[in-house]
């Protein structure tokens, strides 16, 4: 895991002028078995895998809507942080449910699109 984080940190400078990972570099990134087990559990709950197009690599998206679950959210984020772009920060937003006129807050993160999530 430390190697992966070092590899990604060296490969992804700040957002402006980001050096895109080559196809070979992306293929070299894998998910250790312990994290695969966590990933399965997350996908049974609040996570999902998304492809932007049928031919693109997949990425993990994870969100929590309850502020009370913020500690859990950051625990999961820290596990998958190495798969996110270096300068990425979790996104917070407030949504209005037009049916009930209630406001809900949520926090989410998205990983890079990588073959290991396919």
Structurally, the chain folds into a number of domains equal to 1
Q: Does the pLDDT of residue 74 top 90, yes or no?
A: yes
Rounded Cα distance between 10 and 45, Å, is 32
Whole-prediction pTM = 0.76
**What does the pLDDT average to over 26-55?**
93
Q: What is the CATH number of the domain that holds 88?
A: 3.10.28.10
| Per-position b or e across 8-18, b if 16+ CB within 10 A of its CB | beebbeeeeee
Taking the mean position of all CA atoms in its chain, how far away is CA 40? 14
Residue with the two structure tokens 């996110």: 84
**What does the pLDDT average to over 62-91?**
89
Q: What is the token pair recorded at 18?
A: 């980001």
Q: Does the pLDDT of residue 26 top 90, yes or no?
A: no
């Amino acid at each position: 895991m430390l190697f992966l984080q070092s590899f990604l940190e060296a490969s992804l400078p700040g957002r402006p002028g980001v050096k895109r990972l080559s196809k070979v570099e992306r293929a070299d990134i894998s998910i250790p078995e312990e994290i695969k087990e966590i990933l399965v559990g997350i996908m049974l709950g609040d996570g999902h895998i998304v492809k932007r197009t049928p031919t693109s690599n997949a990425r993990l998206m994870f969100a929590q809507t309850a502020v009370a679950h913020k500690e859990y959210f950051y625990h999961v984020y820290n596990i998958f942080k190495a798969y996110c772009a270096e300068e990425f920060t979790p996104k917070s937003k407030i949504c209005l449910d037009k049916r009930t006129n209630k406001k809900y807050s949520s926090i989410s993160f998205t990983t890079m699109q990588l073959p290991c999530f396919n």
